Chain A
């Protein structure tokens, strides 16, 4: 009895640091965000008064929130699909015995570790309607006969965003998928070949099932990160033209520092979290059922 209570005390002592750190870095910010969202707060002074669920009621009634949610979904799904398609395709290519394979594997990481600010500056320059190389090339090739406004009109601005997002983040998919590809035993491919499977059947019957677990993680992580993406979109279009590329994180920023409504911004952030939770739950359930 005495001994077991001593053990219990020791147990509490041993997990205490973990629990404390967890509370400090996860629970506290979460609770305070929820707490703030129940006030109407003027950002510069951080003074405010209790308004209950008013912030939420206003948001859900406003077209701006739903518009931003729609934009966020379009951006997330669009860029994620492109990242996956290009990421998997390039991983398969780099898995072959190419001449410059190791060089190519190193280069592929480049977009991923270029700072977003630098990358966006370069892309804005490429996309520029007056002196951008993209319009120049398309004009020269005769594909367009007037320079296109890539960032200042829709749907071009969203297409540009999705493309740059895919370019910036597909290396993550390449690296994780490539790592998994290298662990698939050659014997499986040889067995499939002897069983009469062609290259396409081998991809769908051997490669893809083996990639399933790693793709599950990649999709989960990339979906969260793309959903929360701020700097790339903010620097590329600032949410424009008008609000047509304003995603939820941009709305949070504008509410907090443009409109000086910290409470409303917190409410958007909390709703964002809920949306993500719902999607994650649906996604994980769908995966479990397979």
Chain B
């Protein structure tokens, strides 16, 4: 069991800053994903925790002990590399046994533990093979086995599923969730795939340009994104973002964009520029106070994605798979006021509460 803490950790490569003033407190036994687009500093963060990179400044601690100066082998951390990094000339059994061998575990003990790990990961039949004789998924499991066998305090995984095909990826995702549930160890998981992060994590750290954007449960980052970046990065299809401003309307305020007007129940100042965020599933087509023109209809089988135009904006909405919409059709629509998001001119989340509107 191990807590991991990043305290104002910064990493620069020459003049390029990969990670900026990162504060992150990971609880013992937690499954945390570092999520963000390519180049945002996820791998660098993980490598600093592993000891493969030294922070430029700040402190990384495990269970309250600062490990900045500790060699990777001394941190009691295991890492699964994106490329698996299996030793090509060693058999599967030798690969898995290697960390034990280097730690002076006796031959008999090694055999027992390798056999146990092989059984967990269903590698028993492959123990004598060389890595090049394995499929991608099998190599992935061997890499996982080499990490598991040491029984480390913390597991690090750097995009471990990105080299697998879609079906195998879904399967391995489930296996990893199950594995984490069983061993209950702290796991830090790097991915650029929001689906992986959302389905597997206890909490997600969303990163962008080396800066931590939000750290919260999948539900929190989805339902209350801290800023525009998180709002647009999480969710597929992405959140609809409509730029407008707050204006006085009747006794209160309303968000206005063209002929679109949404009454605000609480918060905000008149004249402020605001970006409104609406998730596709929070738009209901067919009835409501607003009108839009259907542009594109994309049935995916279990739902239909609809692109429609309203107030000069293209909105994406989810509709039932049996909806009979055709391009060019003008349909009324409503938005779920209690699920709307608002962001200020700097992209920060605004604590606006919208009222359910009954007319435009």
Residue positions of A touching B, CB distance < 8 A: 185, 187-188, 190-197, 201, 205-206, 209-210, 212
Contacts and interface: CB of A to CB of B under 8 A. Distances in A.
Interface stretch (B18-26, B97-105, B173-181, B281-289): B97-105
A196 B88 contact: no
B79 A191 contact: yes
A97 B52 CA distance: 17
B73 A193 contact: yes
A195 B71 CA distance: 11
Given A190-B52, A191-B79, A196 B99 contact: yes
Contacts of B150: 195
Contacts of B83: 185, 187
Interface in B45-91: 50-52, 71-73, 77-79, 81, 83, 85, 87-89
B146 interface: yes
A144 B146 CA distance: 57
Contact of A195 (B51, B52, B88, B98): B98
Contact of A191 (B51, B77, B85, B89): B85
Contact of A194 (B77, B88, B89): B77
Given A187-B81, A190-B52, A190-B81, A195 B89 contact: no
Interface of A is mostly: helix
Contact of A188 (B78, B79, B85, B103): B85
A197 B102 contact: yes
B102 A209 contact: no
Interface of B: 50-52, 71-73, 77-79, 81, 83, 85, 87-89, 98-99, 102-103, 146, 150
Given A190-B81, A193-B72, A194-B73, A201 B102 contact: yes
Most buried by A among B50, B72, B83, B102: B102
Contact of B72 (A185, A194, A201, A212): A194
B50 A209 contact: no
Closest 8 CB pairs between A and B? A196-B102, A195-B99, A187-B85, A191-B85, A209-B89, A196-B73, A194-B72, A187-B81
- A185, A190, A201, A209 — most chain B CB neighbours (10 Å): A190
A205 B87 CA distance: 8
16 contacts: A185-B83, A187-B81, A190-B81, A191-B79, A191-B81, A191-B85, A191-B146, A192-B87, A193-B72, A194-B72, A194-B79, A196-B102, A197-B73, A205-B87, A209-B87, A209-B89
B73 A206 contact: no
A190 B52 CA distance: 7
A252 B79 CA distance: 61
B52 A193 contact: yes
A187 B78 CA distance: 13
A195 B81 contact: no
Q: Which residue of A187, A191, A205, A210 has the most chain B CB atoms within 10 A of its CB atom?
A: A191
Contacts of B102: 195-197, 201
Contacts of A201: 102
A188 B87 contact: yes
Contacts of B89: 209-210, 212
Contacts of A212: 89
Given A185-B85, A209-B87, A210-B88, 6 more contacts: A190-B81, A190-B85, A192-B87, A193-B73, A196-B73, A209-B88
A194 B50 contact: yes
A191 to B, nearest CB: 4
A193 B50 CA distance: 10
A187 B43 CA distance: 13
B160 to A, nearest CB: 13
Contact of A205 (B50, B72, B98): B98
Nearest to B89: A209
Contacts of A210: 88-89
A110 to B, nearest CB: 33
A191 B79 CA distance: 8
Contacts of B87: 188, 191-192, 205-206, 209
Most B CB contacts (10 A, CB to CB) among A188, A194, A206 go to: A194
Contacts of B73: 193-197
A212 to B, nearest CB: 7
A177 to B, nearest CB: 17
Contacts of B77: 194
B82 to A, nearest CB: 8
A185 B79 CA distance: 16
Contacts of A191: 79, 81, 85, 87, 146
A193 to B, nearest CB: 5
A194 B78 contact: yes
A192 B79 CA distance: 11
A187 B79 CA distance: 11
A201 B71 CA distance: 15
Q: Looking at A185, A190, A195, which has the most chain B CB atoms within 10 Å of its CB?
A: A195
B170 to A, nearest CB: 26
Contacts of B85: 185, 187-188, 190-191
A200 to B, nearest CB: 11
A209 B98 CA distance: 15
Contacts of B51: 194
Contacts of A194: 50-52, 72-73, 77-79, 99
A192 B146 CA distance: 11
